[in-house]
């Protein structure tokens, strides 16, 4: 996502980080090992622009001295490869051109004004799959983003226009199973969305924490670090 916005992050031993502010909802740094050095991590990101965020992948950092506060606590989730627990009545496809991506983004955004977050450049990434669940009329009504690696498929941005994640997961997991039948699915969720993921076959496997730089935090802050 950052590359599609012209922001180049870099992997180092302890963390991935971007020197310029990342797109809305996406972290400026992600820890890769437990016990990362907080000062070294913060030095790699731009905290001068409001809203810098860190995905603390092991839930073990203390960034309060750098003026960060906890936005939310969550759980990593894992689901073995396999079909969805419940069948889906939605057809699905993978967005493969700017028009279908735009239709997906408008459905995901649901009038929030952030549909432009998903740029056509995202389609150039061979490991990213924008999954669209469609009604019988062909309208996008559910979806997610799948990020494939050699060992797992990461799932983020799960949504449904009606029924929330409970309505979305069957279609998303059906698409993931058909595209990557041997790969487990992973992601992270918190609150009610975590309980919903568990109902659909996921298991919580470890904590993570999202940190946000600055004041006035809330669960609806625009940089809530999806993906």
Q: What is the pLDDT along the chain (227 residues), one digit of tens a residue?
A: 877 777 788 999 999 999 998 988 899 999 999 999 999 999 999 999 889 999 999 999 999 999 999 999 999 999 999 999 988 989 999 999 999 999 999 999 999 999 999 999 999 999 999 999 999 999 999 999 999 999 999 999 999 999 899 999 999 999 999 999 999 999 999 999 999 999 999 999 999 999 999 864 444 433 344 54
- Contacts for 214 with CB less than 8 Å, ≥ 6 apart: 50, 51, 52, 67, 69
CA distance 69 to 158: 25
Spatial contact of 131 and 172, defined as CB atoms under 8 Å apart: yes
CA 82 to chain centre: 21
Residue 158 backbone phi and psi in degrees, to 5: -75, 130
- Contacts for 43 with CB less than 8 Å, ≥ 6 apart: none
Q: Number of C-alpha atoms within 13 angstroms, CB side, residue 77? A: 23
* pTM, rounded to two decimals: 0.90
Give the C-alpha distances (Å, rounded to integers) separating 147 from 36, 41, 75, 122, 144.
Answer: 24, 24, 18, 11, 10
CA distance 128 to 136: 25
């Amino acid at each position: 996502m950052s590359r599609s916005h012209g922001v180049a992050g870099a992997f180092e031993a302890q963390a991935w980080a971007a020197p310029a502010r990342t797109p809305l909802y996406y972290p400026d740094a992600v820890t890769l090992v437990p016990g990362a050095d907080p000062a070294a991590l913060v030095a790699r990101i731009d905290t001068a622009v409001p809203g810098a965020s860190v995905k603390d992948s092991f839930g073990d950092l203390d960034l309060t001295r750098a003026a960060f506060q906890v936005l939310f606590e969550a759980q990593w989730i894992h689901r073995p490869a396999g079909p969805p627990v419940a069948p889906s009545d939605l057809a699905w496809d993978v967005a493969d051109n700017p028009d279908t991506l735009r239709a997906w983004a408008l459905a995901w955004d649901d009038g929030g004004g952030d549909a432009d977050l998903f740029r056509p450049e995202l389609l150039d990434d061979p490991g990213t799959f924008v999954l669209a669940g469609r009604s019988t009329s062909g309208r996008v009504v559910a979806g997610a983003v799948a990020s494939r690696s050699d060992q797992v498929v990461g799932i983020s941005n799960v949504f449904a226009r009606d029924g929330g994640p409970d309505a979305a997961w069957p279609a998303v997991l059906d698409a993931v199973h058909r595209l990557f039948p041997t790969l487990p699915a992973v992601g992270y969720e918190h609150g009610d969305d975590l309980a919903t993921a568990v109902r659909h076959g996921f298991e919580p496997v470890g904590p993570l924490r999202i940190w946000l730089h600055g004041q006035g935090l809330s669960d609806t802050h625009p940089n809530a670090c999806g993906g």
